[in-house]
Amino acid sequence: MAVTTTSQVDPGIQIYYDRVLLKRALPFLHYNKFGQLKSISKKSGDTIKFRRYNSLTVNPTPVAEGVTPSLQQLNKTDILAQVSWYMNGVAITDVIDLTVEDPVLTEATEILGENMGQVIDMVTRDILCATASYTNASGGSNGQTPTEMTRSDIDAVVKTLVGNNAKPITEVQKASTGIGTAPIRAAYMSIIHTDLIDDLEKVSGFKSVAEYPKGDGMEGEWGAVGNVRFLVSSVAHKSADATPKYYCLVIGKDAYGITDIKGGTAKTIIHGFGSGGVADPFNRLATAAWKTQYVARILNDNFIQNLRVTHS
C-alpha cells in the first residue's frame, strides 16, 4: 500500500506563528522616585532656580540686660538647572504594514514609551552618581578597594546622613500579627545593582521584604538593613573596570529635584501613512516617536551619599 507523507505533500505554512507577542525583559526604574518634582511655567525660559535660605548661626550665650545683640544677615543658596531635550523614534514602511501579522504601529508606540522611561531614568542616575558625595566601602574582606558592602559601611553612611540632618524618606512600619514579620525603621532609600543581591543578603541584620509587617515593599524592593531600604535594578551604576565598582546611592528626603516645562511634558507623536507630504510622495512611511525635556539636579549634597562597593 502506497502511503502519502509530508515528504510528498508538505503543508503550505510549516511554522505556526503565535500572535500573542512575548513580553520584553524590562528593568526596574527607580531613580526618579525620590526627587522633588518642579515644573517651569510655559514661556518662562528653560532654566529653573532652586533657592534655599541658610540657617542662622546658633549662639547660646545669654544677653546681658540693656545690651542689644548684633543682628545677623539672612543668606541663601541658589541652584540652577537647565532642561535638555531627549527624543527617539521609529519609521515603518507600508510593506511591513501590509505583510506583517502584528499591529506594528501599536507595538512600536508601547516600545517607545518604555524607551523614554529608561532614558529619563538613566539621565537621573548618571547625574546623581557623578555628583553625590561618596564613601568607599572598607569593612569587607574581598581585598578590593572598595570592598564588598558590610553592615559597618551601611551604618557609617547612615551616621553621616543623620549627622547632616537628612530626613528619612519612609516612616516606621510597626510590627504586625503576620508570622515571621518584624518592624521596619524609618529609612533612607538605596538603589543597588542586581549583581549585589547576594552580598546584600549576607549583611548582618538583613530583612527581606517578606519580613516587613505587611510584606508589601515598593516595586523592586529587596529588603532592609538598619535604617536603609534597598531597591534593586539591572541598570544601576556598574563601572566597566575589570573588577566593577558599583555605586549604591543612599537617598534622604529632598536630596534632589527633577524638572520639566509645564505644558511641554512627554509627548508621543504618531504620523500615519500619507502624512509626509512631498517628503514622502508615495505614502510609504509612517512614524512613531517621543520627545520630552528634562533635568535632574542634586539640591542638597548633605542629603545623599554614594556608597561605592565591589562584589564579594
How do residues 3-20 score in pLDDT, each as one tens digit? 544 565 566 665 555 555
The verdict on residue 30 lying in a domain is no
Higher confidence at residue 194 or residue 177? 194
246 lies in the same domain as 285: no
Q: Residue 269's pLDDT is what? A: 87
Residues 6+ apart with CB under 8 A from 27: 118, 233, 234, 235
Phi then psi dihedrals of residue 98, to 5 deg: -85, -25
Q: DSSP letters of 149-205?
A: --HHHHHHHHHHHHHTTPPPSB--B---SSTT---B--BEEEEEEGGGHHHHHHSTT
pTM of the model as a whole:
0.85
The verdict on residue 13 lying in a domain is no
Residue 309 pLDDT exceeds 90: yes
The verdict on residue 188 lying in a domain is yes
140 lies in the same domain as 249: yes
144 lies in the same domain as 173: yes
Q: Residue 303's pLDDT is what? A: 96
Count the domains in the chain.
2
Query: Which run of H or E residues covers position 232?
Result: strand 228-233
Least confident of 100-104, 165-169, 185-189: 100-104
As a whole-number percent, the residues of the chain with pLDDT over 90 amount to: 56
C-alpha cell at 143: 581585598
223 lies in the same domain as 291: no
Task: Report the alpha-carbon distance of residue 159 to residue 98 in Å, rounded.
Answer: 63
CA 175, 178, 181, 186 dihedral sign is negative
Residue 139 pLDDT exceeds 60: yes
As a whole-number percent, the residues of the chain with pLDDT over 70 amount to: 87
208 lies in the same domain as 247: yes
The verdict on residue 154 lying in a domain is yes
249 lies in the same domain as 291: no
pLDDT tens, position by position, 241-298 = 999 999 999 999 999 999 988 776 688 888 888 888 888 898 898 888 999 899 999 9
Confidence band (pLDDT; 50, 70, 90) for 214?
Answer: confident
The verdict on residue 221 lying in a domain is yes
Residue 185 pLDDT exceeds 80: yes
305 lies in the same domain as 170: yes
Least confident of 10-14, 35-39, 48-52, 264-268: 10-14
The mean pLDDT value of the chain amounts to 87
Mean pLDDT of 21-34: 80
Task: Report the alpha-carbon distance of residue 275 to residue 259 in Å, rounded.
Answer: 33
Confidence band (pLDDT; 50, 70, 90) for 43?
Answer: confident
Contact 274, 112 (CB under 8 A): no
192 lies in the same domain as 305: yes
pLDDT tens, position by position, 195-212 = 999 999 999 999 999 998
Q: Residue 9's pLDDT is what? A: 55
The verdict on residue 182 lying in a domain is yes
Residues 6+ apart with CB under 8 A from 199: 148, 149, 309, 311, 312
DSSP symbol at 238: B
Higher confidence at residue 142 or residue 102? 142
Mean pLDDT of 57-75: 91
Residue 87 pLDDT exceeds 90: yes
Q: DSSP letters of 104-156?
A: HHHHHHHHHHHHHHHHHHHHHHHHHHHHSEEEE--S-SSS-SS----HHHHHH
Q: Residue 4's pLDDT is what? A: 42
275 lies in the same domain as 178: no
Residue 169 pLDDT exceeds 90: yes
180 lies in the same domain as 170: yes
Its domain, for residue 222, covers 135-253+300-309
Task: Report the alpha-carbon distance of residue 191 to residue 305 in Å, rounded.
Answer: 11
Task: Report the alpha-carbon distance of residue 251 to residue 248 in Å, rounded.
Answer: 10
